[in-house]
Amino acid sequence: MEVVRVYAAQPVLVPIPGTVGAAQSVPCAFYQACPRVTFQAWPDTLYQAYPCGYTVGPVGSASADLPCTPRPATESVLSSTVLFVKSLALSILKQKYPFKQATVNDMQCNLHTKNAKYKEKNERDLKTLLEFSRTLILKLAELAFKQLMKGNVLFYEEDLRECGIDVTEASVYSGICTEIFREESVLYQTKVYCFVHLSFQEFLAAFYVFQCCVNKDIESLQFFMPQHWGWYRNRSENVLLEDLLEGAVDKALKSQNGHLDLFLRFLLGITLETNQRLLQGLLIQSQNSSKSINKAVQYIKKQIKTESILTEKSNNLFLCLTEIHDQSLSREIQQYLQSDKESQSKLSPGLCSAIAFLMQMSEEVLDEVDLKKFNTSEEGYRRLIPAVYNCRKALLPICNLGEKTCEILGSSLQLTNSILRELDLTNNDLHDSGVTLLSAGLKSSHCKLEILRLSGCLVTGEGCSSLASALSLNPSHLKELDLTYNHPGDSGMKLLSARLEDPLCKLDTLKMEHAGMIRIKAGFKKNACVLTLDPNTAHPHLHLSEGNRKVTWMEEQQSYPDHSERFDGCEQ
């Protein structure tokens, strides 16, 4: 396979896998692409557009395995769709010459104001701007959709011409679509195009799909439709929209690389009638969508509660509900959290992901998260782990957690705003490898953990060495360490006991009782003990052998001495 490097004529905002925080502008040379420039692995981050720029990083989180500081899921937070419509308008303002810079600055200040006197004027301004560029934006939307379905983020001049886009005309809109170059040889270059940010492509693709639905262009929508496209010709617009939204949810859930996640959120957001009004400069006609939205909400909630849904898919569907201002699932979860959880029906793993996500997004810091209070499966417990990012005390005993959990917890302890103070992992088979990952978080200067319980976690001298090293690097916070029912060995005991003698180390309680080789057996075998039968209580017909560990029934009575506690019968 030929590998080529892509260069940007100007810096282009592209998502950097793994980054969390401020936007970063990097050349497209960051990626290596195949000749058709189709990326097989889409970044699994979600994007939030703001009126004056773009933030790269999780909004909520596409993966619950990564620490994040998501925005609260409240109705006061502007949806991605609203913000993107305004960002699109600003991009047009900055590129089209008939508008003066003063107009741009004025609109930047007023687009996101809540002042009532600006609201009507802003909507008129948006309509004028969008009407001004409607023809080309619709063509760009078609391009965005077709290339998104193919998994392409870069495209050629023939792709633009296929959608009726004149290359010179498109170049005027460098705030939306920009030209870059792919170096194929020293002798010549081929022009390649992309949107300035993946989020623009996903937003425009969603707009194109909704526009096709409004115009009943069913043939263009058949990718999402469960029925043959001819079936919809005589059906109402609501039937078409309902099936479209359900089909889009299904396609996003089936996408292994998540390339339709943000597209789905935008599509649902555009469907809202309030957002249709913002887009009236582009939409020839609007559509009554309240009934379709309500059905989509019920379908999304049903999918979240299924057993098989993945964490990142559940989180994205939760964000979809936020996008369309539906708080019903949030209220259900809040009621569940305030109820007697153990008496409730069993929670599916998908719903556990939603619960953890809501806990993460809460503006209120939780005092305690106790996994055993949730009626769920072992997979459900694992899905709830990210909730510890927003709590002071995490009780996770006997939840069959392992190495992956330690990686998540270790990452959470390294967050600059880490608030976890007590962590109980009693009787989880973490092994030394898991404790080493946890220690990576303990050694961070951001970690403020005060109590750590690792009783019965299969820890040996190697794990103790990692803990001792972490306490040497960050000695100022951990006060209590419970390592009972493990096998630290002499070396582990010496290393950790030395921390007690260190005047700089705050550790004052170290528990290492009931240690031994038997403690490194998996599961409850670590608590096994040697059982013997007391000869003073044995029934006269029982013969004891092998150190009183083996019992055999005998026809003849055994010659045991009389004893007041001997068991010789049971009256019925």
Average pLDDT over residues 313-333: 88
Q: Return the higher-pLDDT residue of 343 and 294.
A: 294
Residue scoring higher pLDDT (209 or 519): 209
The rounded mean pLDDT for the chain is 74
- Residue 371 placed within a domain: no
**Considering the domain boundaries, does residue 344 fall inside one?**
no
Domain count for the chain, please give it.
Answer: 1
Of the two residues 152 and 82, the one the predictor is more confident about is: 152
pLDDT at residue 90 in the model: 60
Spatial CA neighbour of 193 closest among 233, 236, 160: 160
Bigger pLDDT: 532 vs 384: 384
The pLDDT assigned to 228 comes to: 56
Picking from 25-34, 247-256, 399-408, 507-516, which range would have the lowest pLDDT averaged per residue?
A: 25-34
For range 543-552, the mean pLDDT: 84
109-118, 228-237, 479-488: segment of lowest average pLDDT: 109-118
Least confident of 43-47, 196-200, 395-399, 429-433: 43-47
DSSP string, 380-442: HHHHHGGGGGGEEEEE-TTS---HHHHHHHHHHHTSTT----EEE-TT---HHHHHHHHHHHH
pLDDT on residue 138: 87
Is the pLDDT at 65 greater than 90, yes or no? no
**The total number of residues written for the chain in this structure:** 572
The two tokens of residue 382 are 């694992």
pLDDT of residue 148: 92
Q: Are 264 and 252 in contact (CB under 8 A)?
A: yes
Kindly state the average pLDDT of the residues 195-217: 87
Percent of the chain scoring above 90 in pLDDT: 31
Residues forming beta bridges with residue 550, ordered by sequence position: 545
Q: How close are the terminal C-alpha atoms of the chain, in Å?
A: 83
Q: Quickly state the pLDDT bin for 133 (edges 50, 70, 90).
A: confident
**Dist. CA 347–CA 384, nearest whole Å:** 11
Sorting pLDDT into bands at 50, 70 and 90, what band is 425?
very high
- Per DSSP, which regions of 249-324 are E strands? none
563 in a domain, yes or no?
yes
The CA-based angle 387-369-344, given to 5 degrees, is 100
Round to whole Å and give the CA distance between 167 and 160. 7
Q: pLDDT tens across 465-489, in order?
A: 999 999 999 999 999 999 999 999 9
Q: What is the pLDDT of residues 495-514, one digit of tens each?
A: 999 999 999 999 999 999 88
Tokens standing for residue 38 = 């189709």
Is the pLDDT score of 201 beyond 80?
Answer: yes
pLDDT of residue 194: 82
- pLDDT digits 0-9 by tens, 349-373: 988 998 998 888 888 888 999 998 8
Give the pLDDT band of residue 125 (cuts 50, 70, 90): low
pLDDT of 432 above 90: yes
Report whether pLDDT(547) > 70: yes
SS3 label, residue 543: strand
106 conformational bin, left if phi > 0, alpha if psi -120 to 50, beta if neither:
alpha
Query: Pick the residue with more confidence: 415 or 188?
Result: 415
pLDDT: which is higher, 179 or 281? 281
**Residue 559: inside a domain, yes or no?**
yes
Looking at residue 206, its amino acid is A
DSSP class of 33:
E
Look at residue 431 in the predicted model and tell me its pLDDT.
94
Better-scored residue on pLDDT, 147 or 515: 147
Confidence label for 382 from pLDDT (cuts 50, 70 and 90): very high
- Residue 463 is predicted with a pLDDT of 95
More confident residue, 48 or 128: 128
545 inside domain: yes
Answer yes or no: is pLDDT of 62 > 70: no
Q: Is 554 part of any domain?
A: yes
- Is residue 3 very low, low, confident or very high in pLDDT (cuts 50, 70, 90)? very low
Count of alpha carbons within 13 Å of 242, Cβ hemisphere only? 13
pTM given for the model: 0.66
Mean pLDDT of 159-178: 70
Residue 10's pLDDT band (boundaries 50, 70, 90)?
Answer: very low
**Residue 267 pLDDT > 50:** yes
In a domain, 552, yes or no: yes
**CA angle 419–424–427, rounded 5-degree value:** 155
pLDDT, residue 238, reads 56
**In terms of residue numbers, what domain contains 556?**
530-572
Which three-class secondary structure state does DSSP give residue 480? Answer: strand
- The verdict on residue 547 lying in a domain is yes
Assess whether pLDDT exceeds 80 at residue 32.
no
- The residue-averaged pLDDT of 159-167 equals 85
Query: What pLDDT, on the 0 to 100 scale, is given for residue 77?
Result: 39
